[in-house]
């Protein structure tokens, strides 16, 4: 990079302080880091991020997803020296983002007015669970349960079913990907106008914002969303059909999704099935007819799919011009030639977290990590290095903040840096 | 640095010109950018975007200006009509693209190239042009030409594999969830590309977003590829309960469902004490159930039974507020009606009232306040009527005469 040349990554030169644990905030930092920002992740108060112990199959194996591409430091902000260090980091950074609650930040003396005093043009992203103000501001939540709070679980499944649930931290991901958009926009606005901004997000709001047109339908027509399962108001057949047990694992839980939007696709689908006699019945000729007779239609299609391999059927239907997708399992994604050709999953190391053992002594293992799903032709996404907790203390405290090695070891002895 | 004569920072995003060619699978990208200030011009075929002809409609009475689906995904955009299948339509598009900052599209990967208006051709006339393509499986690889809607992408990403009940087939989420992740990543990529171009000395570029990949990142907790690689297991559906956090789930109570989850030993003790107060059942105080969430894994059935016996004594709101008072993660399982009446959302700068000329719609709330801020607000213009900005764009910007506009109209180009 020459002084007049373009920056190598989209956000080269931007520095971000990431202060807080769990899923959404670290995901935001991961995305900004992948785009070239220097992200300093502060792990604080000798408390390990619980995410280091989840998922259960191997402690910390999923951590590179959230923490790679960052400078990771340790700091006890409950001490004056610790607080001063984080404020010094704020002074040399463009962005401060946190998911700690207001009263906790106040107690530590790193509240937002203080951030502004230290760095008047700092962009602040304050991620909350249910909201930073208002009647629930002290309430606790976590992402997997916010799918209930935000309305989506009672839109999923069929009438009379329990709430329909996805087994993941649902709207944490919405928040995690909304936030980088807000931050980059705020940086542009700052560069153009000199104005700063504090943006407050919430996991709750992110979930509700993505509920879709049902929010309008209720207001205009007083109509709650219909729980349609896998069916659609505008297409038939539109569902998930059983397939043969997996040829490798023997797993019987195999399905294919098939979506036929119009009569043209229906003709292609019939042809792909070999024009069985049942498919020529007049009630299936038009979309309206197929929608009225979905029970018999779905049963007939299931009879055709049940003996077939999900992956092979997906290929043959797609090649026949019929939108279809196997319900992918981990084995499929891991072996997917398509994803491999796009370098989606990449190998990485990790360290197995253990309580009471210094991070430098944790056991190293291998993991797999995805790359950011926005491939940019001019400013490649950085996969980045995966640092262990505290690995970048010397770089951040020494090179960036200018502390001497003696000063750093004194802070270590005092337990401020650990 | 770009020059925006009238931009003083009232909106978060400067008024970059964005041409939006997406369908409803990616329309949320342009909406997010438009809500926060970008000048997003939706380029529609003369008959209108297909989602104008999708319901729901007010009183189920169809009309191109009253599709609630279209209204939801296209707030704060402008609209022009243009027939890209005609040569003169494509000529006009080239002129628009020459002055645009960004194009967002969701066609199959050959479509714009076949029309002679692919990224390379447009970029030759506008080196700063940024184009984002949002497709089901990305623009490269074996599946690049495969088709997919919400259902198919939910399936192929594996997201459906972990959605629903364990003894039932996989189910898609009822909000057409796949419309958001790829659109959000595209918005991030576009803003980063603009930042690079205007503040990092760079050029324009192309951004390739795969909906399948975006959705895979949205269930990283379950990390299917990693679980397979480490243990040879495939993640699957667990219903409303979790295998990682015990108890966690949605439980029936007097008037609906309560969602609850206990992670720390302290939370368990508080819950056990409360259950004991209510049911008098000493079993809940059994020391075997104390500890962190994994410690209760083998007792999940009895703990669930104890919880159900307790929860049936209360309403959703009683459990929600009293649970939170006891420092427990208790949350209501809401319906859409509950969201619109929720006092927290009402005070979060979240709902924006938007007026509609159509009296059957009137003034309704839209969920635009994703970022709450004293310094910047989202905008509150309704989705545009079809071709509402034809005159402003074709006459005002491209300099066409009124006569030329009439001719283009009668030729079916706009």
Element (DSSP H or E) covering residue A44: strand A38-44
Q: What is the pLDDT of residues A346-362, one digit of tens each?
A: 999 999 988 888 889 99
Q: Which residue of A has its CA nearest to B187?
A: A181
Q: A-B interface: how many C-beta pairs under 8 angstroms? A: 530
Q: Which residues of A touch B220 (CB under 8 A)?
A: 23, 27, 62, 65-66, 168, 173, 370
Percent pLDDT > 70 in chain B is: 99
Q: How much is the mean pLDDT over chain B?
A: 95
Q: Are B36 and A185 a contacting pair at CB < 8 A?
A: yes
Taking CA atoms, A283 is separated from A238, A258, A263, A278, B277, in Å, by 16, 19, 13, 10, 60
Q: Are A259 and B182 a contacting pair at CB < 8 A?
A: no
pLDDT at residue B26 is higher than 90: yes
- What are the residue boundaries of the structural domains of chain A, listed by start? 15-210+343-413, 238-335
**Is beta strand A324-326 parallel, antiparallel or unpaired with respect to A255-259?**
antiparallel
Query: A47 pLDDT band (50/70/90 cuts)?
Result: confident
Query: B247 pLDDT band (50/70/90 cuts)?
Result: confident
pLDDT at residue B245 is higher than 90: no
pLDDT at residue B104 is higher than 90: yes
Question: For residue A305, which phi and psi values (nearest 5 degrees)?
Answer: -80, -25
Q: Look up residue B208 and give its two tokens.
A: 């390739």
Supply the DSSP symbol for B60: G
**Residue B400, min C-alpha distance to chain A (Å):** 32
Please indicate whether residue A270 or residue B262 has the higher confidence score (pLDDT).
A270
Best to test chain A binding among B151, B197, B361 (most A CBs inside 10 Å): B151
pLDDT at residue A55 is higher than 80: no
**Residue A274, min C-alpha distance to chain B (Å):** 21
pTM of the model: 0.98
The per-residue pLDDT for B118 is 98
Q: Are B207 and A318 a contacting pair at CB < 8 A?
A: no
Taking CA atoms, A372 is separated from A28, A262, B131, B275, B294, in Å, by 11, 34, 17, 44, 31
| CATH no. for A15-210+343-413 | 3.40.50.10540
Say whether A238-335 and A15-210+343-413 share the same fold. Answer: no
Q: What is the pLDDT of residues B106-131, one digit of tens each?
A: 999 999 999 999 999 999 999 999 99
Nearest to A236 by CA among A203, A255, A263, A213: A263
The per-residue pLDDT for A59 is 84
Partners of A367 in the beta sheet? A348
Domains of chain B: 17-218+359-410 (3.40.50.10540), 248-334 (3.30.1540.10)
Q: Which of 3.30.1540.10, 3.30.9.10, 3.40.50.300, 3.40.50.720 would CATH assign to domain A238-335? A: 3.30.1540.10
* Residue bearing tokens 């990543």: B185
For residues B31-43, give the mean pLDDT: 98
HSE on the CB side for B114, CA within 13 Å? 7
ipTM above 0.95, yes or no: yes
The per-residue pLDDT for A1 is 41
Q: Are B234 and A330 a contacting pair at CB < 8 A?
A: yes
Q: Which residues of B touch A166 (CB under 8 A)?
A: 159, 162-163, 173, 219
Q: Which residue of A has its CA nearest to B333?
A: A148
Strands (E), B181-311: 206-210, 248-253, 256-261
The per-residue pLDDT for B363 is 98
Supply the DSSP symbol for A47: P
Q: Is the backbone peptide bond immediately before A237 cis, with ω within 30 degrees of 0?
A: yes
Supply the DSSP symbol for A164: P
Query: B264 pLDDT band (50/70/90 cuts)?
Result: confident
pLDDT at residue B387 is higher than 80: yes
Say if CB A75 and CB A85 are below 8 A apart.
Answer: yes
Q: What is the pLDDT of residues B185-216, one digit of tens each?
A: 999 999 999 999 999 999 999 999 999 999 99
CB contact set of B340 (below 8 Å; sequence gap of 6+): A215, A218, A219, B365
Percent pLDDT > 90 in chain A is: 89
Q: Are A189 and B376 a contacting pair at CB < 8 A?
A: yes
Alpha helices in B238-327, H assignment, sequence order: 265-279, 300-311, 316-325
Percent pLDDT > 90 in chain B is: 92
Q: Which residue of B has its CA nearest to A155?
A: B174
Quick check: helix, strand or coil at residue A152? coil
For residues B386-412, give the mean pLDDT: 95
Quick check: helix, strand or coil at residue A54? coil
The per-residue pLDDT for B1 is 67
Query: B295 pLDDT band (50/70/90 cuts)?
Result: confident
Supply the DSSP symbol for A166: B
Element (DSSP H or E) covering residue B111: helix B111-114
Q: Are A374 and B369 a contacting pair at CB < 8 A?
A: no
Q: Which residues of A touch B260 (CB under 8 A)?
A: 145
Q: What is the pLDDT of residues A323-337, one digit of tens each?
A: 999 999 999 999 999
pLDDT at residue A2 is higher than 50: no
The per-residue pLDDT for B296 is 85
CA dist., res. B263 & res. B236, Å (int): 22
């Amino acid at each position: 990079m020459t002084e007049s040349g373009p920056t190598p990554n989209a956000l080269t030169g931007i520095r971000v302080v990431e202060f807080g644990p769990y899923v959404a905030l670290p995901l935001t930092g991961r995305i900004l880091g992948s785009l070239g920002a220097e992200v300093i992740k502060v792990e604080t108060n000798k408390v390990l991020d619980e995410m280091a112990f989840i998922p259960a199959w191997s402690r910390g194996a999923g951590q590179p997803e959230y923490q790679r591409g960052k400078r990771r430091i340790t700091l006890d902000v409950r001490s004056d020296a610790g607080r001063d260090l984080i404020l010094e980091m704020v002074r040399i950074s463009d962005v401060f983002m946190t998911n700690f609650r207001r009263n906790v930040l106040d107690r530590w003396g790193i509240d937002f007015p203080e951030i502004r005093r230290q760095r008047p043009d700092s962009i602040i992203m304050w991620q909350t669970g249910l909201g930073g103000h208002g009647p629930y501001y002290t309430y606790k939540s976590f992402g997997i349960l916010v799918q209930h709070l935000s309305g989506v679980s009672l839109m999923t499944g069929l009438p009379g079913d329990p709430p329909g649930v996805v087994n993941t931290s649902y709207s944490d991901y919405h928040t995690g990907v909304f936030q980088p958009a807000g931050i980059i926009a705020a940086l542009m606005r700052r560069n153009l106008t000199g104005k700063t901004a504090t943006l407050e997000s919430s996991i709750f709001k992110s979930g509700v914002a993505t509920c879709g047109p049902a929010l309008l339908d209720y207001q205009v027509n007083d109509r709650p969303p219909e729980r349609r399962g896998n069916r659609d108001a505008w297409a038939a057949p539109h569902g998930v059909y059983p397939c043969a047990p997996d040829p490798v694992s023997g797993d019987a839980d195999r399905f294919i999704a098939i979506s036929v939007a119009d009569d043209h696709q229906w003709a292609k689908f019939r042809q792909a099935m070999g024009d069985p006699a049942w498919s020529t019945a007049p009630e299936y000729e038009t979309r309206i007819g197929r929608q009225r007779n979905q029970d018999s239609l779905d049963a007939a299609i299931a009879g055709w799919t049940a003996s077939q391999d999900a992956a092979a059927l997906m290929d043959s239907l797609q090649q026949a011009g019929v939108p279809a997708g196997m319900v992918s399992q981990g084995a499929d994604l891991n072996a997917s030639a398509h994803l491999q050709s796009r370098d989606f999953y990449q190998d990485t190391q990790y360290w197995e977290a253990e309580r009471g053992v210094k991070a430098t002594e944790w056991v190293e293992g291998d993991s797999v990590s995805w790359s950011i799903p926005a491939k940019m032709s001019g400013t490649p996404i950085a996969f980045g290095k995966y640092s262990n907790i505290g690995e970048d203390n010397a770089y951040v405290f020494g090179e960036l903040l200018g502390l001497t090695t003696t000063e750093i070891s004194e802070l270590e002895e005092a337990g401020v840096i650990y | 640095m770009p020059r925006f004569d009238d931009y003083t920072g009232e909106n978060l995003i400067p008024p970059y010109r964005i041409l939006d060619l997406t369908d409803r699978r990616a329309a949320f990208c342009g909406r997010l950018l438009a809500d926060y200030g970008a000048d997003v011009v939706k380029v529609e075929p003369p008959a209108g975007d297909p989602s104008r002809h999708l319901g729901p409609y007010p009183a189920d009475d169809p009309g191109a200006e009253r599709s609630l689906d279209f209204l939801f995904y296209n707030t704060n955009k402008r609209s022009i009509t243009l027939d890209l299948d005609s040569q003169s339509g494509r000529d006009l598009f080239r002129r628009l693209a020459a002055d645009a900052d960004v194009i967002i599209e969701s066609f199959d990967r050959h479509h714009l190239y076949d029309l002679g208006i692919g990224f390379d051709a447009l970029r030759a006339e506008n080196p700063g042009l940024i184009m984002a393509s949002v497709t089901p499986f990305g623009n490269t690889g074996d599946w690049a030409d495969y088709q997919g809607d919400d259902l198919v992408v939910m399936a192929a990403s594996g997201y459906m594999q972990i959605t629903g009940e364990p003894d039932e087939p996989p189910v898609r989420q009822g909000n057409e969830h796949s419309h958001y992740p790829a659109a959000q990543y595209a918005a991030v990529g576009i803003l980063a590309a603009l930042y690079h171009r205007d503040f990092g000395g760079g050029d324009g570029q192309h951004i390739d977003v795969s909906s399948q990949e975006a959705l895979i990142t949205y269930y990283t907790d379950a990390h299917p590829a990693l679980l397979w690689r480490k243990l040879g297991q495939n993640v699957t559906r667990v219903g409303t309960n979790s295998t990682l956090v015990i108890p966690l789930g949605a439980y029936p109570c007097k008037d609906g469902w309560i969602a609850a989850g206990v992670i720390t030993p302290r939370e368990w003790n508080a819950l056990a004490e409360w259950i004991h107060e209510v049911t008098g059942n000493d079993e809940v105080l059994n020391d075997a159930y104390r500890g962190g969430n994994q410690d209760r894994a083998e007792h999940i059935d009895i703990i669930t039974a104890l919880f159900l016996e307790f929860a049936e004594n209360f309403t959703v709101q009683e459990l929600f507020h009293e649970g939170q008072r006891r420092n427990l993660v208790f949350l209501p399982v809401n319906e859409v009606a509950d969201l619109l009446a929720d006092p927290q959302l009402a005070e979060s700068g979240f709902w924006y009232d938007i007026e509609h000329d159509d009296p059957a719609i009137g003034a309704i709330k839209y969920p635009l306040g994703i970022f709450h801020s004293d310094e910047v607000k989202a905008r509150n213009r309704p989705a545009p009527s079809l071709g509402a900005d034809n005159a402003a764009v074709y006459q005002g910007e491209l300099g066409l005469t009124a006569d030329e506009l009439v001719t283009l109209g009668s030729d079916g180009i706009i």
